[in-house]
Structure 1
Amino acid sequence: MSNLPTSMAAVHLMDHGGPEMLQYREDVKLPAPSANDVLIKVHAAGVNNTDINTRVGWYSKGDNDSEDASWSGNALQFPRIQGIDVCGTIVAVGENVSPDRIGERVLLEPCIQEGNSEALTQPWFLGSECDGGFAEYTVISARHAYGIQSNLSHAELASFPCSYSTAENMLTRSRVSENDTVLISGASGGVGSAAVQLVKARGAKVIAITSSSKEAQLRELGADEVIFREQNLVAVLGENSIDVVIDLVAGTAWPDFLTVLRPGGRYAVSGAIGGPLVELDVRTLYLKDLSFYGCTVLEPEVFGNLVKLIESGAIKPLVAGTYPLKDINKAQESFLQKGYVGKLVLTVSD
């Protein structure tokens, strides 16, 4: 590592709170890989709901209590470098990793089963339980750095890891197949738009829920039908019409998802931007023999399958805009306005 700098630029999250808790610095100590790790020069890192949710303490089941305000339900360690979506190049390796990997362009798996060269009893998430990609360099276990052969740009590749692996995990857990009709809430967001593409890649039918202003873009992605948020799902679709619901919204309209599911239907959830507390009539759950899937930890095959889909061109990136790392607050402000389809990405290095 003698040819590498001793310090780097990075964004430190200093505590839970508003945008003022993000501090851009250029004197952060360069991380060093342990035996099973690789050191990544970060080229680009995507902006996600999870970055903002973690910053404000949204994951806490109390009153934004810092003791459980992380993906794992544990206290976050500050300062923390966030950034779960990372595209970069391996520039150094630990003693147990082949030096042949140096120079390899990689995508980082967001859900981590090994940290500091030890197997983890509970998964970490990049940028939450360990430092992530809002920096010029980051460290990760070599097993979680997937080589990628693609002509896509760094920013385009950085739009994939978190949202697309989350969507693919939901489809994997809920066993989506070519014979299914799949309803996707929040379809214009990063995970939702990824799910539209991934469902179509499986040959299934997609019904997307979005705003009227984004209908054309969702149809271009492959949505067979589009329903607007203000419409009544049951009135438009009818009862018992959907095989699988991929939900990223929850909120007050949540009971309608169960009404439109067919008997034996499957419901997968990995977001609650419409509100985390919902009303469940347990009779609907058991009388219709429904299956529920909460989806956070990735199934072992998901990220490798995603990389293959990217390399084959079966799915395409949706980069709505890019910002330099130092403008992270502007990027997050734009992100919260939701006036786009796809992902916003922070560019870090060439």
Structure 2
Amino acid sequence: MRAVRIARHGGPDVLAEADVTVPTPGAGEALVRVTAVALNNTDLWTREGAYGRPGDPKALSGWRGSIDFPRIQGADVAGRVVSVGPGVDRSLVGRRVVVDPAIYDADRPDANPVGLMGSERDGGYAEYVTAPAKQVHDMAGSPLADDQLATLPTAYGTALGMIERGRLRQGETVLVSGASGGVGLALVQIARARGARVLAISSASKLDSVREAGAHDVVDRAEGVVEQIRAVAPDGIDVVLDVVLDVVAGNLVSEGLPLVRDGGRWVTAGALGGHAVAFDVRRLYLHNVQLIGSSMHTPAHFELLMDLARRGEIAPVIAATFPLHEAARAQEELARRRHVGKIVLLP
């Protein structure tokens, strides 16, 4: 089969197409023919080795540690099951599916992800990929197209994990940073569906697209963000869903904490703008504000997400599609951050 692999950390030039053997599903696994695989920032950072390690933030590393090279990238897979390994119900063969890409620390609904397909095991930049059968979800009844289904695992899974961990409730006011990206748009859609009032931060050229996704108000990230938020939400924010950690206008954490209501929650799931921040800790303990880290999703979160997709209650936005052999060009386009929605490879 054709696959795109990395043999070392580096720039887009380390992505190389190769002929490799179709993997054989082991016990408890399924073999999926990949029809669509979405790109994520995790692809860029894994390729670059940008995650660092505990005690050594500058170390070259995959999502959770050293990578066994060569590695096939790609966490977000939609496709069809073509065969199964020992111990798997053969009725799964032929099903249209989405793969949960997480490697979990336990076999329970609230397990934590400790690895990721495309980093700690081979992923979907290929014609075929294997995955644990229990993490291959039947999507036969979903109205979403395959390219839309492929956008769900990392972006929408991360978004739903943030919303669940932040305990967002109907009627609350939520602020979404980085709202034009894959996770940001997912947050806007899911929070709106939950009955929240959704405020969003985005760049001027993307404000209309974020409104179309469901945001009630959108503020320009280059025009005094905190002042704009105060103007549209004078009573404060219940939940901040922070995808980028900080923004061009300044450190959103230090400047934005005073905007959070007593008992509010600040959920962070990314560090696009920088991983080192400073803030006044009194804004936390004097107002019972919780600062919550959120990495991807649990198995229970993923089941909730698949139910939303089966009912067509979310509508992923596709920014562009590329053939598999143009994976490097697709990653370059992702890194430019000029798009709204998700970029997808079609093997």
- TM-score over 0.5 (shorter chain): yes
Task: Indicate how the Cα distance of structure 1 residues 104 and 114 shifts in structure 2: closer, same or farther if over 3 A, else same.
Answer: farther
Q: How far apart in 2 are the matches of 1:87 and 1:331?
A: 18
Q: How does 1:242-281 map to 2 (within 5 A)?
A: 242-251=237-246, 252-254=250-252, 255-281=254-280
Q: How far apart in 1 are the matches of 2:93 and 2:105?
A: 20
1:235-284 Cα deviation digits (max 9, x unpaired): 22337600000001113422122121111110111111111111122111
Match of 1:293? Answer: 292
Does residue 134 (structure 1) correspond to residue 125 (structure 2)? The answer is yes
Does residue 241 (structure 1) correspond to residue 236 (structure 2)? The answer is yes
Check conservation: 2:113, 2:298, Cα contact below 8 A.
Answer: no
Q: How does 1:30-179 map to 2 (within 5 A)?
A: 30-61=22-53, 62=56, 64-66=58-60, 69-72=61-64, 74-113=65-104, 123-148=114-139, 149-179=141-171
Corresponding residue SS for 2:175 = strand
Check conservation: 2:112, 2:298, Cα contact below 8 A.
Answer: no
Does residue 184 (structure 1) correspond to residue 179 (structure 2)? The answer is no
Instruction: Calculate the TM-score normalised by the size of structure 2.
Output: 0.92
Shift of 1:160: 1.5
Q: How far apart in 2 are the matches of 1:121 and 1:153?
A: 29
Match of 1:4? Answer: none
Shift of 1:233: 3.2
Unaligned segments of structure 1, at least 5 residues: 1-7
Task: Indicate how the Cα distance of structure 1 residues 147 and 242 shifts in structure 2: closer, same or farther if over 3 A, else same.
Answer: same
Check conservation: 1:114, 1:141, Cα contact below 8 A.
Answer: no
- 1:46 alignment partner AA: A
Check conservation: 2:166, 2:266, Cα contact below 8 A.
Answer: yes
Q: How far apart in 1 are the matches of 2:274 and 2:79?
A: 34
Shift of 1:122: 6.6
Q: How far apart in 1 are the matches of 2:125 and 2:14?
A: 14
Instruction: Calculate the TM-score normalised by the size of structure 1.
Output: 0.91
- Runs of 4+ in structure 1 displaced over 6 angstroms? none
Q: How far apart in 2 are the matches of 1:240 and 1:203?
A: 18
Corresponding residue SS for 1:123 = strand
RMSD between aligned alpha carbons? 1.7
Shift of 1:310: 1.1
Match of 1:12? Answer: 5
Total equivalences in the alignment: 333
Corresponding residue SS for 1:301 = helix
Match of 1:21? Answer: 14
Unaligned segments of structure 2, at least 5 residues: none
The percentage of counterpart residues that share the same residue type is 41
- 1:65 alignment partner AA: A
Q: How far apart in 2 are the matches of 1:258 and 1:309?
A: 32
Corresponding residue SS for 1:209 = strand
Check conservation: 2:113, 2:296, Cα contact below 8 A.
Answer: no
Q: How far apart in 1 are the matches of 2:268 and 2:280?
A: 17
Check conservation: 1:70, 1:76, Cα contact below 8 A.
Answer: yes
- 1:191 alignment partner AA: V
Check conservation: 2:170, 2:195, Cα contact below 8 A.
Answer: yes
- 1:253 alignment partner AA: N
Check conservation: 1:200, 1:206, Cα contact below 8 A.
Answer: yes
Q: How far apart in 2 are the matches of 1:277 and 1:85?
A: 28
Match of 1:5? Answer: none
Q: Which moved more, 1:141-150 or 1:296-305?
A: 296-305
